[in-house]
């Protein structure tokens, strides 16, 4: 396989799942099932397969047809490849049947580096941005029809862009002239003409491109659905590891784990500690890339992995 994508926190993610009590103490006769929510270019999937017993099974998901094509080159009978979002993983496994789940939320390097995918503001290409090119509107098609208020909301909410209204207004003005942006560089140039100030080293179009990519691919909605599905599928004692790359993702993951790692008791209710209901998750920890990894792979610099374990007594 020609893998050009460097998986972030590779060793740490594999260790987090493999060292969980279920997989670590599994016997050669037990059936172990692990899910990789985003195949990407197979780095995490292959590393996990290398550590899993021969009796194990693994399901890897991806919305991207290019990723699926790469995945099908892996000759391993333990691996099942699914062209779908991890948001629907509960349609492919039974409740409390999974020993470990990894969700790598990052966009893969080939998606960014291949100009025809339309993810990069640095490369001339059609303004597509769809991970699944068989489904949905492209970013260009959406910008041609979305009202000013909706474009503003998307750029502000998903890009945390303080110039969202000005950017949306410029896009609509170009559209009214019959010059709606069709390519990545056309949109990047339009945004640069509006955003006059930006953090050092950050392109003016960074936040707008992030916002459109997240919106077009329903990334945050899929994340919320995927986390709920993961909690249902994990066996008691199984682990969930989630790698996020920006604050919107990480906030959702952090709040989900915290919400299921504590039990809310109404103030003043006379309950003894031993009588408290058990929370569903135990938070294991948070991991960031080492300085060495960031030096070798600058795209890893914003990554955060959060790990939690489903409590033995808990049930989703």
Q: Where are the domains of the chain?
A: 10-109+219-310, 133-216
Hey, which of 114-123, 261-270, 279-288 has the most confident mean pLDDT?
279-288
Pick the CATH number of 133-216 from 3.40.50.720, 1.10.150.170, 3.40.50.10470, 3.20.20.100: 1.10.150.170
- Is 63 within 8 Å of 129 (Cβ atoms)? no
- Per residue in 208-244, pLDDT tens? 999 999 999 999 999 999 999 999 999 999 999 999 9
Alpha-carbon distances of 21 from 12, 106, 279, 281, 311, rounded to whole Å: 16, 27, 18, 14, 11
Instruction: Name the token pair of 287.
Output: 């991991």
Nearest-angstrom CA–CA distance, 166 and 20: 49
CB neighbours of 39 closer than 8 A, spacing ≥ 6? 45, 60, 61, 62, 67, 68, 70, 71, 81
Instruction: Name the token pair of 267.
Output: 């103030």
Mean pLDDT calculated for residue range 260-280: 61
Q: What is the pTM of this model?
A: 0.90
- Per residue in 20-77, pLDDT tens? 887 877 766 578 999 999 999 999 999 999 999 999 999 999 999 999 999 999 999 9
- Per residue in 103-113, pLDDT tens? 999 788 778 87
- Per residue in 171-180, pLDDT tens? 999 999 999 9
pLDDT category at 296 given cuts 50, 70, 90 is very high
Residue 276 has pLDDT above 50, yes or no: no
The domain made up of 10-109+219-310 has a fold known as Rossmann fold (3.40.50)
For residue 110, the model assigns a pLDDT of: 79
The overall average pLDDT reported for the chain is: 90
Q: What count of Cα atoms within 13 Å lies in the side-chain half-sphere of residue 91? A: 10
Same topology between domain 10-109+219-310 and domain 133-216: no
Closest CA to 233 of 278, 283, 280: 280
Phi, psi angle pair for 42, to nearest 5°? 90, 5
For residue 245, the model assigns a pLDDT of: 94
Sheet holding 304-310, edge to edge: 79-83, 57-62, 33-36, 98-104, 234-244, 304-310, 281-287
Residue with tokens 């010059």: 179
Hey, which of 114-128, 245-259, 265-279 has the most confident mean pLDDT?
245-259
Residue 158 has pLDDT above 50, yes or no: yes
Nearest-angstrom CA–CA distance, 266 and 136: 45
pLDDT category at 3 given cuts 50, 70, 90 is very low
CA-CA-CA-CA torsion sign (179, 185, 189, 192):
positive
């Amino acid at each position: 396989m020609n893998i050009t994508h460097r998986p972030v926190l590779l060793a740490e993610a594999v260790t987090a799942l493999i060292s969980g009590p279920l997989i670590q103490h599994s016997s050669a006769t037990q059936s172990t099932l692990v899910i990789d929510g985003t195949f990407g270019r197979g780095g995490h999937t292959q590393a996990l397969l290398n550590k899993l017993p021969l009796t194990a099974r693994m399901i890897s998901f991806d919305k991207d047809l290019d990723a699926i094509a790469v995945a099908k080159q892996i000759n391993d009978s333990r691996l099942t490849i699914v062209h779908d979002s991890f948001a629907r993983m509960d349609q492919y496994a039974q409740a409390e049947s999974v020993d470990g789940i990894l969700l790598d939320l990052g966009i893969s390097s080939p998606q960014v580096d291949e100009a025809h995918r339309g993810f990069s503001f640095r490369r001339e290409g059609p303004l597509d941005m769809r991970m699944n090119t068989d489904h949905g509107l492209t970013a260009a098609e959406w910008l041609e029809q979305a009202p000013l208020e909706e474009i503003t909301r998307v750029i502000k909410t998903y890009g945390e862009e303080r110039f969202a209204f000005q950017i949306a207004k410029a896009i609509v003005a170009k559209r009214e002239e019959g010059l709606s942006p069709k390519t990545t560089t056309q949109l990047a140039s339009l945004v640069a003409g509006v955003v006059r100030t930006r953090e050092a080293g950050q392109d003016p179009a960074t936040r707008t491109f992030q916002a459109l990519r997240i919106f077009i691919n329903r990334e945050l909605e899929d994340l919320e659905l995927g986390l709920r599905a993961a909690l249902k599928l994990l066996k008691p004692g199984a682990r969930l590891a989630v790698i996020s790359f920006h604050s919107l993702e990480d906030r959702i993951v952090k709040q989900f784990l915290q919400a299921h790692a504590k039990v809310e008791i109404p103030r003043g209710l006379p309950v003894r500690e031993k009588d408290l209901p058990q929370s569903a998750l135990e938070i294991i920890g948070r991991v960031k890339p080492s300085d060495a990894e960031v030096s070798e792979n600058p795209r890893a610099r914003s990554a955060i992995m959060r790990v939690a374990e489903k409590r033995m007594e808990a049930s989703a």
